[in-house]
Structure 1
Amino acid sequence: MWLLASLRLINGHNSCFGRVEVVYNGIWGTVCDNGWDLSDAAAVCREMGCGDVIEAKSSAHFGQGSGPVWISDLQCSDTDSRLRGCKSSGWGRGTCGHEKDAGVICKGECKPFNNNVRLVNSTNSCYGRVEVLRSGQWGTVCDDGWDASDAAVVCRQLGCGTVLEVKNAAYFGKGSGPIWMNNINCFGNEATLMSCSYNATPNRCDHEKDAGVICEASSVRLVDGSSSCSGRVQVFHDGIWGTVCYNGWDLLDANVVCSELGCGEAKEVKLAEYFGKSSGQIWLTKVKCFGNESSLTECPVGEADKWGQNMCLLDKYAGVICQSETRLVSGINSCSGRVQVLYNGTWGTVCDDGWDLSEAAVVCREIGCGDAIEVKSSAYFGEGSGQIWMDNVNCSGNESALSKCEYHELELNDCNHSEDVGVICQCKSV
């Protein structure tokens, strides 16, 4: 029996998955994967408050650690709630190298991702100094290594389209308070800035190096919903995001919004404060779409009913829940499972030929589940039935929906349901 002082999971996108590390005599070290199984991983998940275990990972899946390998040949029972109740070979008595570091993916709790980034000190919410929220306090980002890939993640996270310009050297003025991030290194397809690798303890920056960005704002977005395909409708005008009044709001109007955002058809119209309260400008009311417009801003609106000239109470917001054309089924939670897509009113599966993390990243973002953790092939989540709608999907990773990627359609694929693809996405941990 041994006493554990502390436990952590690192190199994952949240606190509920990553490489297992324990501290002994004040020094952090890793756990060897000799004998590492679901029972051991489950004990870690329970101790971390991360719910059930999804997978036990071996062979330094989350990268090789450093320092001592403290534990080997761990033997936990299915009822152990803490690692200190498990048997092992003892502290530092194993012969493992870090190429055998153990890891775990826990269930956590799937919730909508709240925005922890904003752009400030400008007249437009889609450009300005980048600030991030950490430990309840807003702080800035150092411009060391700040580039277009990093800025693109911010623009997309805020619903502000693509990046136009990267700004350095406190272009939008100096911030105050902490500098939370430095040397950010994004691939460009991450769901949130916090999902990129970065130095969380900048020691050579001051606010003269605050990073900024100018985004090319899209004209419509949905906010405060469970994914990018549901929420309160907002439109962008004169540098400001504002809401739409629900007077006359119906499925025809909602369908245009859903189609514009790549979210399929409108499933439900939501009115008033269904998605919470808002403040600021109400830009439109009495919108009258025919349903075939490519953008909400193309729909007929009386001159007296647009751009803030209308009379509408602040609690009369238009909202929508779109029928996203992508979903995950048969997983352990709403952010994992077999990928299904909707076509001609029928749900079907996706073949795993050519499927990798770029495609998985698009799916995870589309359904509001953050970043992709793992691709699962060969019907890992069970075989589906019916049509196989997509094969050889090829995404850059930046698309807003899977349907916008290149792929072979039904008549061109040679797959069966033993090749149904799945994905495990990030869950926001509580």
Structure 2
Amino acid sequence: MECFPSLKHSSKVLEITCSDSVRLVNGTGLCSGRLEVKSNQSNQSWSSVCEDDFDQQDAEVVCRELGCGAPSVLQGALYGDLEAPMWTKEFQCGGHESALLDCDSSGSARDACSPVGLTCSDPDDVRLVGGASRCAGGLELKHHGDWKAVDNPDSTWDLKVAAVICRWLDCGSCISTGKRSHSSEQSVWWISSSCVRAKPALKECVTTGYEFSTTSLEITCSDSVRLVNGTGLCSGRLEVKSNQSNQSDQSNQSWSSVCEDDFDQQDAEVVCRELGCGAPSVLQGALYGDLEAPMWTKEFQCGGNESALLDCDSSGSARDACSPVGLTCSDPDTIRLGGEASRCAGTLEMRNQLEWRPVADWDSGWDQTSADVVCRKLDCGSAVSTTFTENPFDRQVWWIKSSCVRSAAVLLECVVTSALEIYSGLDIICSDLLAQPIISPSPSTNGVSKAKQQGLQVLMGSDFTIACSTEPQYPGGSFQLIFSTSNAARNYTLPAVNHSARFLFPAVDSAHGGEYRCVYRLYVFSHNFSSESRPLRLTVSASLTELIIRSVVLLLGMMFLIAALCCTSKVSRSIRTRGEPFFGARREEE
């Protein structure tokens, strides 16, 4: 006798409904297995059915009788080829009967054959209602003949579990999930999260217990785009619904991969935004598999600002063969540290379903390693400390599994739904607490040229001042000016006054040339913090007086050289003039 999931909790009495003459055994769930029928109602024994005596219409009746969906696979010996007694009659169902034994049959003894292996599809007993599309809204389940909202008794419902529902509904990737609150208790079906991950049908996960709840589950899936075979919700091989011409006919809609040659950065930006992820970080063909799946036959031409990929313009461009798009989107901007002057210190908050809430530790495993993940994602260095706030907040929280934080690509995957509100929040202090200080020459400096490309020039003998300043985050602190050359390094320290300090250097000489940096140091939150400015290169040039002297000396030297050259030229000409008669007389004698 086959017991399919029809458990009902009513007045603390359990009711069970089983099929009395048909069952599927050795399958992966309640809707698959080797078909067996009661061979003799008087002897109450079971027999396998011969594959040669069973067709699609017979299978439709069996699947309907067991409360399953339409038959998807019908194959002999699919779930074992045991030497069991065989049913000796051939079923002749019309397909509309409510039970297999209601069908006509004829005697046909078989010597040997393969037993029927049958897989029924998941029944159409799950839906999302009240949303913008069939892929968004409150989760409802049809069970025991009744449609009811669904709630989760163990408070471990998260995005990965909700993604299973999205796949069952043939929707795209899961974007968000949470709980809807109701003003009064309503009748619901309770399901277990751990069961949803493992079972092929949601109704197998219905548990008995409390029949009423003041909350119910909500899910938002993308309806035409998804990422598959990735490491998280924001990575995978891109697939698009290949037939959007008839939205009402869901059975005629299949998923197709997108050709890498027809996809660019702007297209990727639209997909990441549509899936609630951050900006695209990796776009590479066959990154998440190179399956021989149907390929999308159009080239997307997105501007980058569209809200959905199918809102983009497209052009027909049939491809014979190409690599499918592999896309990785960055972690969405969904976390922050609030309540302090720095973005790198404060109470951890998260944005989920467009709402910012403080974060609470669900599994009591939060530690320095978990806080490190948050600091890195905020580009705030590493975690210096993390503590639990003593006083509860007045607003609702997002519960997070710390064990998930250490491995998840997207922190939203770690949020679990719960109606609990008594908690301790999470305070985190990261190493990059202080803003980068600014280094600059003082505006009143004499003999200093304008800074160009992070450098400045100072005249020999003049005075110059270097100013260090920082954003007004915290009071107090000090500035250390570090001066370094190729041979040595020196530093000077002044207290911060109005978040700045000025270092004066009178009568500069060539030894002052080199690289300068400002380091702001502050003791806050029981820890020492520091932040360093960009480098400022200083070169020393000659003073104006020295330049004039050098110019005069150079001019006198040039005048002396010219005079010497003139004298040399006159002497040479005089010697040549006195020698001309002698040479002339000699020529005459010859």
* TM norm. shorter chain > 0.5: no
**What TM bracket, shorter-length normalisation?**
0.3 to 0.5
Which structure shows the bigger proportion of residues in strand conformation? 2
TM-score by length of 2: 0.29
TM-score w.r.t. length of structure 1: 0.38
* Bigger helix fraction: 2
Which entry has the higher C-alpha Rg, 1 or 2? 2
The one of the two structures with greater contact order (alpha-carbon pairs below 8 A, sep at least 6) is 1
